[in-house]
Structure 1
């Protein structure tokens, strides 16, 4: 989706070059810089993971990459970001809409923001109908059912409202909704949040299928190291808006050159030890 040849897919799904992103000040407060001088690329066929503590800038980075606009969206104040061949800094509304059509964004609070008076079927179908109200209902029903199966939810969920579902079920409905249009790029912020460990392999399988089946790339924001070991080709570690490590999960933890990575390694070792301790 480049400016010169929109029929040719970009070799890189994402190019981030010395990016600085900040939230504007309000009521006399100063602007807050959440991402500072970050650079990396995501090629088509890659799934790149992002780890970091609360306040590290990882959710801000996800929102920037998703080409979101409106209230609560950070401003790109330095460097540049190219998503599917389009520069996001200074992007016009029409071009932004084109990018958003090809990019699925799963927000951190996605499971808590489902339309309360829509059934799960209506929630999943909404992105299709918002673009084509005359879309064949039978074909749409088939697509919705296929997405529900992909996230391992029974068909009975289709007629249920969000308040009738568990947190994990709502999260899986949100995932199905984000993928219903068959995006080229997925930006997922905590995709396994609230999902039972017995169901997480389904999400792993879904991401692997998407990555290997066609031109697809993803950025997965999560401190779920098991998830990254399964699907991420490499992982970026963020701290206070800067990249402090890049590489394979185990290599990052073994190096532990940054205090955050050392803490992450310690937590994982403690969890493993607890799991091995007989009750």
Structure 2
């Protein structure tokens, strides 16, 4: 196998990929942060591709500040669409396969059934719209693509819901948590393992795939599980979305149907709570 480049390597998923690659002793994978290789800088991208001539490109670079994007639409669009377009052109020139990480936010989430890859996309936030724009750009320019939609990412790395709950749980006596938004937590280590498994398989069933851990929960029940596993005593109060207003609208139901990725790559996906136990045990070490 030839070289693999990871863009956005200093983010949560990028760090998880580095962790798994190290354990699997994958030596031909190169991790580039946004300061080393900004996807908006076409000259730098050209040099990077010429230097590494990658067979696979994993794009973890994204504008992910969901609420901030509502007021910073221009930058969100630049990174999530224009940057992705720049990467796609570079992949075309070097015949590289692009693995791009997308989001459950491309859906409106108003139907209580697991979302498949062919369900109608109808984002209700700037973040979701710009990520969908990125998907469409990739599909218009490239054939060798794996677009992986995911959601509710957490891990030992970066800023995420699990780490925030652990911190707040140690600081507060009670906490209000949204109980009417439903989805599935995704342990970013599990996603990273899956991405590297896709590459190792050599499978060329290109297209859009959904990935999260198994099971279904709410943010409230997710938080309760975190407190339970970590032995944190705190009063968790369930609230409705309208009681906890945010700048951006969230999809109320974003459970992803993973049948396609499981069948195509022969995956056994861990149950969300089992992976959460693994993550919290690592954080407590």
TM-score if structure 1 supplies the norm length? Answer: 0.30
How high is the TM-score relative to the length of structure 2?
0.30
Q: Which is richer in helix?
A: 2
- Comparing both structures, which one devotes a greater share of its residues to strand? 1
